[in-house]
Amino acid sequence: MLLDISPMRHNLAFRRLFASQFISGLGTMVSDVAVPWQLHELTHPGWVRW
């Protein structure tokens, strides 16, 4: 099954929505890694064991 990208080619608002959701998803993934990492760095060698 292939993704239909014709709405992105023809609709500027859809392109902006798609791009903003993509960037937001990247930010979420970075936060999902950075917060536990920072918690580990701040509490090491406290209660967090890796």
Q: Which two tokens stand for residue 33?
A: 């890694």
Say if pTM beats, i.e. exceeds, 0.75: no
The pLDDT score that the predictor gives to residue 35 is: 95
Distance CA 4, CA 7 (A): 8
Cβ atoms of 48 and 40 within 8 Å: the answer is: yes
The pLDDT score that the predictor gives to residue 50 is: 56
Cα angle 8-23-13, degrees, rounded to a multiple of 5: 30
Cβ atoms of 11 and 18 within 8 Å: the answer is: no
pLDDT tens readout for residues 9-48: 899 999 999 999 999 999 999 999 999 999 888 887 656 5
